[in-house]
Amino acid sequence: MSDRICKFYEVLVGLEIHIQLATRSKMFTAAPNAFGQPPNSLVDPQVLGLPGVLPVMNKRAVEYSIKVGLALGCQIAPFTKWDRKSYYYPDLPKNYQISQYDLPLCSSGTFDIPDDDGSTKTIRIRRAHLEEDAGKLIHEAPGGHPIDYTIVDLNRAGTPLLEIVTEPDFTTPRQVTTFAQELQKIVQYLGVSEGQMQMGHMRFEPNINLHVTDQTGVVHRTAITEIKNLNSFSVLEKATAYEIQRQLHQWLETGALGQKSTYGWDDAREITVHQRDKEEANDYRYFPDPDLVPVIVDDTWLAELKRQIGELPAARRKRYVESVGLSPVDAATLAADRHTGDLFDQSVAAGAAPKRVATLLLSHGRRLANESGKPLAQLNLKPNRIAELANLIDQNKIAPAEPAGKVLERLLQQDAPAEQIASELGLLQSSDTSAIEAAIEALIAQNPKPLQDYKSGKQAAFGALVGMVMKQAKGLNPKLVQERLKQKLG
Ligand code: MN
């Protein structure tokens, strides 16, 4: 039995994230940046680290990184440089990785995430810097046969990699995953990475420790451990939760605070396993890369990138709820990808009621998108036509259910005024009151049984009467028919 009692403990988790940027070429050379190609086909002398080859910076990768930095509320460094991080490993032919050490491109950001209790949790971003990815080491032969040697595939080597480091502000595994998911949405929205976890576009490394307060009030700080290379949200959450409990129980059972070290996740056993004690920064012998010029980010460039970003998803969601009056769910759906949000905004700007446009896009629009297997924004619907259709509904000229859906469907192939299409399809409702009056008069003249029923107090007969008036003439507006009929019958 141990005499250690934990009165309470604080969880401190920081997150390190590596994101592969979707540039066409690699970080410091023109070799293509692609996935799923034959092994070692995306290499050139620079990737192979052959002598006498000089790196040239990929400007697009810098721009993508600045966009992510801005989305995370970071300061963008007006002056930054490249450093060599030395280590010897077969996946890194140059024996050093080009990275950024003391002058990261982005620093000191803050990003808000929703917490489980409905409150907002602010995560501080320590830094975000650019570097190049290493190649891949493969320990089994193609087909899964065991081998007693290692295969090197350098296709990934030199891919632009954005490394984001947060402060240890997360206090629950759930917050860690929420942040990761929000970050995925951001990079996809900005179009800087596909953010596909199964392709390794995003890799997460939580670093975890605890401050345990014992029964006498003394605080015991466990050593920080880092769990390497987690590439799914569920594993990220499970591994973080496991490691918190492992550290707590290690202290409870042995009093040990552990060593600063690196762990991996064993997916089969669902536990974290010790890999190695951690290197210190000076083991990497960082020094400025003499082959590359510094990066100067001037105000003009920064302003242009801010303009390109436009409104970020979180701001857009907020605007849709607060000033447009959409429900949080509808707002989130429309703001989830940039193009759908743009289509909605442009349709409203073309002169339609926002809620009507939202309903139109979220009901018929989404159905048509599902049927065609394409995203809503790629259906080629014109904002002015969507606005026209929304206005027809609001003017009672077309019914919002099936008829509006049919007009929207026709608009996929034919760019013509919505009213013209509705008319061609015979879907326009007549709001002509004289036609409605005439139909009601005709019905009264026929004096059918439902009319007698209604007059003798059977309210249920009203629906049948509306149907009978509608049958007198094609395309009458049912809402108006109901109103007029009620008036007529007192
Ligand atoms: Mn890194």
At 188-213, the pLDDT tens digits run: 989 999 999 999 999 999 999 999 99
Q: Where residue 480 falls among pLDDT bands split at 50, 70, 90?
A: confident
* Nearest of 477, 387, 385, 483 to residue 427 by alpha carbon: 477
pLDDT attached to residue 365: 94
For residue 455, report the distance from its CA to the centre of ligand 1, in Å. 81
Read off the pTM: 0.77
CA of 132 to the centre of ligand 1 (A): 8
pLDDT tens-digit series, residues 388-399: 999 999 988 898
Ordered by where they begin, the domains of the chain are 6-296 (no CATH), 311-424 (no CATH), 433-489 (1.10.10)
Residue 1 reports pLDDT greater than 80: no
Distance 85 CA to ligand 1 centre (A): 10
Report the separation in Å between the CA atom of 97 and the middle of ligand 1, taken as the mean of its atom positions.
9
Q: Does the pLDDT value for residue 366 go beyond 60?
A: yes
Can you give the three-state secondary structure of the chain, one letter per residue? CCCCCEEEEEEEEEEEEEEECCCCECCCCCCECCCCCCCCCCCCHHHHCCCCCCCCCCHHHHHHHHHHHHHCCCEECCEECCEEEECCCCCCCCCEEEECCCCCCEEEEEEEEECCCCCEEEEEEEEEEEEECCCEEEEECCCCCEEEEEEEECCCCCCEEEEEEECCCECCHHHHHHHHHHHHHHHHHHCCCCCCHHHCCEEEEEEEEEEEEECCCCEEECCCEEECCECCHHHHHHHHHHHHHHHHHHHHHHCCCCCCEEEEEECCCCEEEEEEECCCHHHHCCEECCCCCCEECCHHHHHHHHHHHCCCHHHHHHHHHHCCCCCHHHHHHHHCCHHHHHHHHHHHHCCCCHHHHHHHHHHHHHHHHHHHCCCHHHCCCCHHHHHHHHHHHHCCCCCCCHHHHHHHHHHCCCCCCHHHHHHHCCCCCECCHHHHHHHHHHHHHHCCHHHHHHHCCCCCHHHHHHHHHHHHCCCECHHHHHHHHHHHHC
Residue with more model confidence, 48 or 477? 48
Closest C-alpha among 39, 3, 386 to residue 218: 3
Percent of the chain with pLDDT over 70: 99
- CA 74 from centre of chain: 19
Check pLDDT > 90 for residue 486.
no
Residue 81, pLDDT > 60, answer: yes
Instruction: State pLDDT tens for residues 126-157.
Output: 999 999 999 999 988 878 888 999 999 999 99
Residue 263 banded pLDDT, cuts 50, 70, 90: very high
Task: Give the pLDDT band of residue 3 (cuts 50, 70, 90).
Answer: confident
| Interval between CA 103 and ligand 1 midpoint (Å) | 14
Instruction: Give the model's confidence band at 454: pLDDT under 50 very low, under 70 low, under 90 confident, else very high.
Output: confident
164 C-alpha to ligand 1 centroid (Å): 9
- Rounded distance from Cα 162 to ligand 1 centre (Å): 8
Q: Using the mean position of ligand 1's atoms as its centre, give its distance from the Cα of residue 475 in Å.
A: 66
**Ligand 1 geometric centre to CA of 128 (Å):** 10
CA of 36 to the centre of ligand 1 (A): 22
Q: Mean pLDDT over residues 92-116, rounded?
A: 95
For residue 410, the CA-to-ligand 1 centroid distance in Å is 51
Residue 19 CA to ligand 1 centre (angstroms):
10
Decide if 196 contacts 164 (C-beta within 8 A). no
Between 482 and 345, the more confident residue is 345
Find the 95 Cα to ligand 1 centroid distance in Å: 15
Ligand 1 center to 131 CA (angstroms): 7
Nearest 5°: the CA angle 279, 177, 192 is 80
CB-based contact 374:337 (threshold 8 Å): no
CA 441 to centroid of ligand 1, rounded, Å: 80
Report, as an integer, the average pLDDT of 292-318. Answer: 94
pLDDT for 2 equals: 62
- 10 Å CB burial of residue 51 (0-12, 13-18, 19+) is exposed
pLDDT at 368 over 80: yes
Query: Of residues 376 and 23, which shows the higher confidence score?
Result: 23
- CA distance linking residue 471 with residue 436, whole number of Å: 11
| 280 pLDDT tier (thresholds 50, 70, 90) | confident
Q: What is the distance in A from the centroid of ligand 1 to the CA of 159?
A: 12
Write down the pLDDT at residue 49.
93
